[in-house]
């Protein structure tokens, strides 16, 4: 797995520092991008994640398989009702960090991305890009947005200030512009200032805090919005990273 060696890291770092957000096309070498896409599309079991107020519900595939149609309808009715007034999200995901540090969890191929992001040369590359030499590790989750999924506007700020920057590594092969699911940034008037379509092998990165959302995926969208996403963090990781796979 390799980053694109032709990227001008100094120019990218200046751009990010000036604008607080940045899209990097062709972030990986092509073979590496195809490899990660295959992991996500063919070798990752998808959980469901949504929030009920401050509580985050994570439903593994075996739990989802036991739900009846009425139970699923109740879950989504609650999501829609809460979204009318409060912060809300729902999408499919795989808990990369939790699985990596859980001895009983299967060591799936997608965990290799986590080790790669936290390898010393790649971690140094992201420190230079973000202008944050205090970044200690990069967390990650795999995400899949399909019809009906969304992430309402928020800033990613956390009380401990451990999140230096947020990133999205996109591995979506097909996404039409009318399908929604764009990463959206807002100005002080709450207008959309920039909306980024999911593009294969492109990374979106922005400094924290930054107001943003993922728009509702249209009911007529039939593609899979695949990504690996997370934060560049200044706190200590849950344990040693590397050599487990």
What confidence score (pLDDT) does residue 69 get? 95
pLDDT at 17: 98
pLDDT on residue 195: 98
Q: Other CB atoms closer than 10 Å to residue 148's CB: what's the count?
A: 16
Classify domain 9-43+95-233 at the CATH class level: mainly beta
**Average pLDDT of each block of 10 consecutive residues along the chain (245 residues)?**
98 98 98 98 98 97 96 97 98 98 96 98 98 98 98 95 97 97 96 97 98 97 97 97 92
Alpha-carbon distance of 47 to 64, in angstroms, equals: 8
Residue where the block lists tokens 């200690």: 136
pLDDT at 91: 98
- Rounded CA-CA distance 204/228 in Å is 11
Q: What share of the chain is helix, strand, coil (3-state, %, to 5)?
A: 30, 30, 45
Parallel, antiparallel or unpaired: strands 202-207 and 21-25: antiparallel
């Amino acid at each position: 797995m390799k980053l694109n060696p032709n990227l001008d890291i100094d120019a990218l770092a200046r751009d990010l520092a000036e604008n607080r957000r940045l899209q990097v096309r062709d972030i990986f070498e092509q073979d590496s991008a195809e490899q990660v896409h295959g992991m996500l599309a063919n070798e990752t079991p998808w959980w469901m994640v949504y929030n009920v107020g401050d509580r985050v519900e994570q439903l593994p595939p075996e739990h989802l398989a036991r739900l009846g149609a009425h139970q699923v309808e109740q879950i989504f009715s609650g999501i829609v009702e809460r979204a009318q007034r409060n912060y809300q999200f729902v999408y499919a995901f795989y808990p990369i960090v939790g699985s990596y540090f859980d001895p009983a969890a299967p060591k799936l191929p997608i965990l290799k991305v986590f080790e790669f992001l936290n390898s010393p040369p790649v971690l140094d590359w992201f420190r230079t890009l973000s202008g944050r030499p205090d970044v200690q590790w990069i967390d990650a989750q795999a995400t899949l947005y399909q019809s009906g999924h969304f992430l309402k506007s928020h800033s990613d700020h956390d009380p401990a200030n451990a999140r230096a920057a947020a990133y999205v590594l996109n591995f979506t092969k097909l996404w039409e512009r009318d399908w929604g699911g764009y990463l959206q940034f807002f100005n002080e008037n709450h207008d959309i200032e920039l909306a980024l379509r999911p593009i294969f092998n492109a990374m979106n990165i922005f400094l924290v805090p930054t107001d943003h959302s993922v728009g509702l995926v249209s009911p007529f969208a039939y593609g899979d919005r695949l990504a690996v996403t997370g934060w560049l963090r200044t706190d200590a990781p849950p344990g040693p990273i590397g050599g487990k796979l």
